[in-house]
Amino acid sequence: MADGEFDRGLALRRHMFGSGGAETEIEAASDFTRPLQELVTRSCFGELWHRPELDLKLRSMLTIGMLAALGRPNQIRVHVKGAIANGVSRAEIREILLHAATYGGLPAAVDSFTAAGEALAELDAAQ
Amino acid sequence: MADGEFDRGLALRRHMFGSGGAETEIEAASDFTRPLQELVTRSCFGELWHRPELDLKLRSMLTIGMLAALGRPNQIRVHVKGAIANGVSRAEIREILLHAATYGGLPAAVDSFTAAGEALAELDAAQ
Amino acid sequence: MADGEFDRGLALRRHMFGSGGAETEIEAASDFTRPLQELVTRSCFGELWHRPELDLKLRSMLTIGMLAALGRPNQIRVHVKGAIANGVSRAEIREILLHAATYGGLPAAVDSFTAAGEALAELDAAQ
Amino acid sequence: MADGEFDRGLALRRHMFGSGGAETEIEAASDFTRPLQELVTRSCFGELWHRPELDLKLRSMLTIGMLAALGRPNQIRVHVKGAIANGVSRAEIREILLHAATYGGLPAAVDSFTAAGEALAELDAAQ
Amino acid sequence: MADGEFDRGLALRRHMFGSGGAETEIEAASDFTRPLQELVTRSCFGELWHRPELDLKLRSMLTIGMLAALGRPNQIRVHVKGAIANGVSRAEIREILLHAATYGGLPAAVDSFTAAGEALAELDAAQ
Amino acid sequence: MADGEFDRGLALRRHMFGSGGAETEIEAASDFTRPLQELVTRSCFGELWHRPELDLKLRSMLTIGMLAALGRPNQIRVHVKGAIANGVSRAEIREILLHAATYGGLPAAVDSFTAAGEALAELDAAQ
């Protein structure tokens, strides 16, 4: 059953961030990073994200909102791509970041807009 | 037009937090608190919350997620009531707080669960 | 195996916070709080705290340091009692809070000292 | 010379927070709280606050701004009294909190307004 | 009247950050970034920064203090230039960052000193 | 006596971060950065880190835990090297970061793992 959760988490990471991202990170994991990869893959994407009360699109929206309020632009960059894969539109991402500007402060939101804009430009360039 | 935004924000505050809350705060406003009441009523609830790309239910969910990640239990207490008024279910509130436990840390989420539980108990008692 | 982790987590919560604390919270859990109690008992105290590379005393010290740096006095109040149960001395708690004053800022540390002092006074009164 | 800094810090705490505050805290200091009282009195109020490039009024304004942005209402309550003693007007305190609403987010600012309003009401009642 | 606020905000951004900065950002604004540029230009620099109780120099000092306490070095880099334009001296910036080291913690202040030093070096190089 | 504390702090910085780091920073200090170098060298590494109740290894562990919970990866990069010099093992660093993932949130911990991995790779390359 635990393997089921790992596999399910890996599949979701692959769906959200591309097959390169998740698998490269897991294959490249050293003794130092392996427990984090386990935690992210099994507990976060394999369990939390699969709880039925909130669907993937909504979890992506909430995640971006929390990351923007907390001022974590590196993770915004990653999760904007995942949000697009989960069906969040660019206009919705923009509105979540504006909402975060009021609740988490303008500086965190400005950094988040910059990171999100870069992630969206990378998605455009990849097409 | 600006008055329209104030009125619209006041109506939303009344809808979300009860007619007592918003009006009492605005009537009781002193020189010290009046500009904050203006900001909250006009810019936040009159403008931001009425932007069309995200509906009220979704904005309530995002707000609770951000407040939980930031560890602001006083505001969780207020916004849980507003979220119920905007159609968010108790199960959805619970899941948002669990999501925040992973993204903002367990201590902020535990404080948020306590505050949310108190707000829900007050709603039950008021019925 | 999952039950083993829940039981192990429950036993650790009982050891650190008294049999009243953990069991009362778990027995009183409603649909709203039960998933949080599961998360805290199984994942946090049943898994994370039992990873072998850091012993319980060290994890208590780290937890207090993180809570003080983040400015979460409610959780400081709880974890000071757990730290004493795990063999951390009062002088060590004091030094961790002083260390946090430099790394997380004086205001968070002052709030943490107040909460820790109250928890220690409750422990004294209980004897 | 070190005693000079302690005495200077104690005098400033007495000036800002009333003779009760500082002296009561220092006299009541236990082994647990004494090093914090030393740090606050000597390093913070005896050294930092006496550096010549920023005067006391400006340091009070900056302190309130930082506390509001960080969301530390307990310390806002204390420092609003100190700010009044250092010549900051109520209108200036209000504007600093409004400025913090934009830079640190609305929830932290709302908590700070509440705490500041209570501190100002206590000052009024004491007269 | 709203246009007046936008124009006033744009003029202040031009004064503080150079004509390149504000205008380039506004002209380059896409559907994704335009609402943020509106918010920054109209609400933040057009309204908040023009409230009469605190002058521009004081608002620059408060902004740097808040950004340093919150640990937002990207925005420190921008606002150090704005602060110089608003008449804040280098010695005053240094003292605000030292004050923030005590209230927001040493790590946030060290990152802020690095960012501020880079911004000042760029100003020197531009002359 | 004050010089004794500065010298002791400088020696500890040299021990933890290499003779290049501390001395280069202090020699390169300008009017702008000198007071910060004084604060870091004398108060932080000369006084706080030498308080006897917690040894250097434990202070390194606490520092990494606080930095990870606060999400300050630049300082993680520096302090991972210092922690290795103070006898903290790589497995212990990993476990502290995992502990921080639960208490400060996963995004801050992921950024910290990245920074720590880079610092460890630099240490490997330097040998």
User: Is B39's Cβ below 8 Å from some Cβ in C?
Assistant: no
User: Cβ of E103 and D66 within 8 Å?
Assistant: yes
Alpha-carbon distance of D30 to D32, in angstroms, equals: 5
Q: Are F13 and F45 in contact (CB under 8 A)?
A: yes
User: Is C105's Cβ below 8 Å from some Cβ in E?
Assistant: yes
pLDDT tops 90 at residue A75: yes
Calculate mean pLDDT across residues E112-124: 96
- Residues 6 or more apart in contact with residue A115 via CB below 8 angstroms: A73, A74, A76, A77, A80
Which carries the bigger pLDDT value, residue E22 or residue C14?
Answer: C14
pLDDT tops 90 at residue C101: yes
- Over the stretch D12-26, which tens digit does the pLDDT of each residue have? 999 999 877 677 778
User: Cβ of D69 and A105 within 8 Å?
Assistant: yes
**Among E77, E85, E39, E37, residue whose Cα is nearest residue E59:** E85
Q: State residue E2's pLDDT score.
A: 55
- Residues 6 or more apart in contact with residue D54 via CB below 8 angstroms: D62, E92, E95, E96, E99
- Over the stretch B47-98, which tens digit does the pLDDT of each residue have? 999 999 999 999 999 999 999 999 999 999 999 999 999 999 999 999 999 9
pLDDT tops 80 at residue F113: yes
Alpha-carbon distance of C65 to C80, in angstroms, equals: 11
Average pLDDT over chain A, rounded to an integer: 93
**Interior angle at CA C48, CA C65 and CA C62, nearest 5:** 10
User: Cβ of F113 and A70 within 8 Å?
Assistant: no
- Over the stretch F32-70, which tens digit does the pLDDT of each residue have? 999 999 999 999 999 999 999 999 999 999 999 999 999
Give the confidence band of C2 by pLDDT, cuts at 50, 70, 90. Answer: low
Percent of chain F beyond pLDDT 90? 85
Q: Measured between CA atoms, how close is A126 to chain B, in angstroms?
A: 27
> Considering Cα of C22, then C25, then C26, then C28, what sign does the dihedral take?
positive
Percent of chain D beyond pLDDT 90? 85
Q: State residue F127's pLDDT score.
A: 83
- Over the stretch F101-111, which tens digit does the pLDDT of each residue have? 999 999 999 99
Q: State residue C1's pLDDT score.
A: 47
pLDDT tops 50 at residue D1: no
Q: State residue A1's pLDDT score.
A: 47
- Residues 6 or more apart in contact with residue E91 via CB below 8 angstroms: D53, F31
Q: State residue F103's pLDDT score.
A: 98
Mutate to test the interface with F, among A13, A31, A72 (most CBs of F within 10 A): A72
Chain C residues 43-72 with a CB less than 8 Å from chain B: 44, 67, 70-72
Alpha-carbon distance of F62 to F75, in angstroms, equals: 13
- Over the stretch B5-55, which tens digit does the pLDDT of each residue have? 999 999 999 999 987 767 777 777 889 999 999 999 999 999 999 999 999
Task: Locate A88 and state its tokens.
Answer: 């969040």
Q: State residue F2's pLDDT score.
A: 54
- Residues 6 or more apart in contact with residue E20 via CB below 8 angstroms: none
Q: State residue D2's pLDDT score.
A: 55
Alpha-carbon distance of A95 to A108, in angstroms, equals: 15
The pTM score is: 0.96
Nearest CB to C53: which of F53, F92, F104?
A: F92
> ipTM above 0.85?
yes
pLDDT tops 70 at residue D33: yes
Give the confidence band of F71 by pLDDT, cuts at 50, 70, 90. Answer: very high
CA E57 centroid distance within chain: 11
pLDDT tops 60 at residue B1: no
Neighbouring C-alpha atoms within 13 Å toward the C-beta of E47: 16
Q: State residue C29's pLDDT score.
A: 84
- Over the stretch A16-73, which tens digit does the pLDDT of each residue have? 998 776 777 777 788 999 999 999 999 999 999 999 999 999 999 999 999 999 999 9
User: Cβ of B67 and A96 within 8 Å?
Assistant: no
Range name among D53-57, D118-122, E17-21 with the lowest pLDDT average: E17-21
